[in-house]
Structure 1
């Protein structure tokens, strides 16, 4: 079969005799008659229907592959690719049709109108992982359009571009003296390293740098000191540095030049000592776990200051020559409330000396208040554990002691609530247990260090809860507590003041005995439980100790009666106050009392009350409020009632008593006997008249 000459050029006959129609996109839609002649000479007509072409936008799907750009830098995407549909067959990763053009629909990027390559500039402030999305409008050759997006993922900026290290300005040193210039913390990352930029120097300054902190230490020459600028190289964790590369104009070679400098002045004027007096001050003393008194300096002193004791003291004293920390060894027989001073000599780096005296007292509120935490269990998975105090004095604040340095352990303390957060982050080589030292600051400013045991548990210990029931006993009584489990070996972690504790290692049965003198309050008794797989944990038994009478505090359990003092105008009455059981040292103090003309004083050491009644006072009862402090920290109140009779007293007279000023029964008895004796003598001397009177009366 063949086609007549008037047929369209897009029609042909295949080798097998089939008619093939391949109209291009410019052929108008419609029905085309095609005249054909067969091999035997027969003529015929074949109708070919041409449909409207599919638009480029319908058959072509364009996309951009995800691209990356570093913060502070510019980068471009790859060319877009297309998935093209030809007669139901999809061809992926194809170039877009020739003649396709591109434009951006957003302002955060640009696009090449012919290739479709998108270019963006990522701001330096963008964080790693953020994205930049650029909208692109595509126009195909047939005029149809499509909207697509090109996405860029932001990589972290180079640290050398993000950080701008700077040193503190305005520091300097006198001739022969040393100065330390710190780097400003906000201008560098925490993991930065530091080194001096190599240079030839002829200024005679002795300069060094701390590779971890970046602090520059410089000692000025004895003569001819001039201002200097010390170049420093900062090494960042991403491998970049603070140095900049530039071309040497003489050699044409690339070389590194510093961009960070510590500027140090040669100072003429006052010595460092004149600016250091504010640092020669000490904080409030506190008691550590061994009963020693610890004191640390406040403020700041020049680096290199040294400390030494400069005289005798009432108790043994140790002074750290580098830090100035003071430790006073307090013996068990030390007098309570003893006050003394520690003479110190502080030598500053420039050779000048300060002499100060640090006041110390052997007794404070920290010695009597009860504060405790239950033992802390931490799993080896690295999950932090929080424990709040089981007994917390009102007004106390808390802090983690600076001495905590157990390898593989982390701890923090909430300053208000006292909650401890502990986490074990170490390896198997690090300790499985730690003591967390908490500095407790009481309302009166005194301090005490409480060590809270923390244990990393595994195996059976990690899956087992061991509890003891809570017990309440009176002072002088005993209680026996049994744990919630019995499979394990039990042992006591430490002794608890005021209690005698005995534990059965096989069953965990715990016998607790308090003494008659045990101060009321809550006690935590830590117990270690070791299981068959060698895992162990620390739990605690909680015991509430009351007074011998069952009161919660000494104040509730002891009745305080008012006392009576006999007073007379213009007379000083002295009265020794009766001391109730369990009273604290210096138990008594005056309450609020302000009555015109009355003069009231209290000898708090000896407990002697002195009352001077104003002139002209007659027939009154005046109450004077008094406070009494007990060993458990509670305070009770009672009154000393001054009774003023109607009798007068010669000016300047006084009276005193060792107890109540009310006359005793023996005085009254002697007075009555004296009166009877006087009556009998009068009757005897006038016996004749009396007999006559009786005879006449009868």
Structure 2
């Protein structure tokens, strides 16, 4: 198997530390169990674990119980290949109290890009390997089942040796790599087709196309793919004997013998235990693998999904083992977001700084850098969940980091920092693979590739960018070639006449072959070769200064020059001046042109012209766009790009691009942008290169500047990327607001109505609502009268008296930015009974608490569109809901209880009719809730009887007799403060007479309640003359005397009595009290405090 897993048996970190690099220290030797052991009766067996690339898999038990596991003791073998590993994700589950632990295995398979890189290196590169040119062997090995084995100790101290976890890798299609019809990398091409063609079956980017064909494939037979449901390896249970005594397990292990594995009849059965919540629920199912790119934040799903599971706490416990990843910005459980687990990566600069600290400017082996990355950045973040049943679960999220290209750093061809140079090249060349600003130099180009030199003449070939110090020159033997400190190629003309022309290659460490340079040795007295670039102009004098001074001239005629092959783009003057303007097409011809001329001294001499390859259109024409402004919610289009052209030291701005350049355009960056690709796709008003940006998409705001990058490709296959910037302006106000008016309204002829705006959004300050009779849509008012509130936009619409027809018109909304919009409205005409005669709205009388704001609804329905207003407020703080009619009022806190107020409300119906209704508001009184009570009184003629008030009543309550009481022969009195009632019928009152004494109860708030207390006259049984005494209801004592009632002052106006009228009675009563002595005072229920009140009210002193 090519990429086999590094697997960790998971458990609490403080007890288990199995690593692939070293074996864990064995656990303490436990006490040997007596009798059958768990390792014998209930051993652990795992199902086959199959995982797709880059995915997380979690082991499942075939048999056995995790609750019986104590800890794993030993990992037998290291599973690793070429530094590429499957990463473990430990999971532990614990309960307290009880100490039960669960050990499970979670495995993260390597990314498919890693497999693709290994396949390239082992199979396709031609390097010596067991898989060289043999893809089928690679696919077969990749499809094998591999076994991870370790010892497991149980809670009874027994040990099961070499528990086997079978592992196998599946493709993205869920099939094996050696399945001929499978598509492991998901590129639409089967595994067998890619293997036979020389493509990479693990790399979807090649789309099944090979970079180069394979040599003759080895004669191999494709085996039948192993089914994904193959039998599982069976574990071999054992007791806690030394591990050396146990045989090594295989995939076809024999069944355990009866004496060693099957329980006997005397063996104890495994005890059942309750299921804990931590076993039943998984808070983050399937979410243990987190892949982050620089600066990215990950949020898990809500714990337990949509299920409602009670928990005691969910806490983030930090990174496993206390290791802090320098790439981790933050990790937490967000209680404000449903206890989601949140983790965020730092930006690229954190990775770059860590790499700089570790390696500086050194050039480590790529495998070393990849291992450092895994050890430094990849981490486990632990979240612990506690349940109400005291069980707990610990979830370790494996946090891995990927580049801006979403590929792992360990993939050599990936580009982690997105600077266009792959990871392996950056490490090899000593630049920082995590910094886009740190990358190798651009590829140098040589505008001049040939030169004719005199012996000893020095010349420098100047590249477009400085050459790397490690640049080499291949094939330059016999020529002095060196690299200058400025990065140029310095050559010296050869003196060896046997080598008239030397060529050599310039070899760059990164880009390999850069160019082939040609150096010609000129041993004649001919003029120097003129070098000119195709597509440019050049002027020079071929004669030396001495020749010019001597008067030497070129005397060849134009006809002679043409016969000698001088083209039209070459002009030769008699004074030796040569003007060259070779077209771009001349650059395709190599070698020097030789044009012979005749001199005035009779000699003939050659003019040599070397036409160099033309500069690319992308180098000659630097394209630019002007900035574009676009409003939110609209689209905007740029102008076609213009070019800046440089000729020598002159720079020409805003130049058109020549037709021969045949530029085509495409968008390479910028969502929501489109471009006119070329002449064939342009409409009448378009030009190639015009960019249109759509600002109607969400996510934009005023002030943003959107960068769109356009790739301009020229006819010579050169290209350049040109930015165009779109500046986002605010919405045009007219398009930012939607207005509307009430619908379904109809008005009576001759009546006005108010038509309200239904949109509630505020408009910008300075907005005006206007009604113009001459705008389109308002031509046919036909007698309707319309006015509008300029600030609110509400309309007052009056229908004509006669011949009214429905009205359709528009209101103009003018915004402060100068934009405007028109809002339509419709009003119908109602013929029939007015709403005011159809509906009868009313309020019931409401009782309110003084000083408190209270509201209540109307009882009867009214048509939609009815409005309400207060016409008379009765002096109250009162308001009304204009749409529902609900009244809200505050009654004066000092008003007497029971006081009433009449509020008048105007009801305006949708058809324009209206009416007035009254609402009665009453202040709540104490008398509404209090219920004083007296018992019925039974009394004999001539005797005094009394009864107390039997209920608890509020303080400062007073009592009195209603002034209308005038029962003949009766004397009645009520205590003003206590409420005790006394009655005294005289002898004229016949037995069996009944009266009702009206007692008026006055409360602190001024409210009153009248209680009628029945009084009955009994028939005397026998005459007697006992000492007068008061009879207390309900068992009155007969008396032959006729004592006078003991009155108390009662100034309440409802009694109708005065203090003066009672003086005689009071004095008589006092005399009676003195005569009767203490006994009489004790028997008559007039308390001392009431007597004091009575004397004070009458102005008497004791």
TM-score interval, smaller chain: 0.3 to 0.5
Greater helix share, structure number:
2
Greater strand share, structure number:
1
| TM-score (normalizing by structure 2) | 0.27
| TM-score (normalizing by structure 1) | 0.41
Structure with higher RCO (Cα < 8 A, 6+ apart): 1
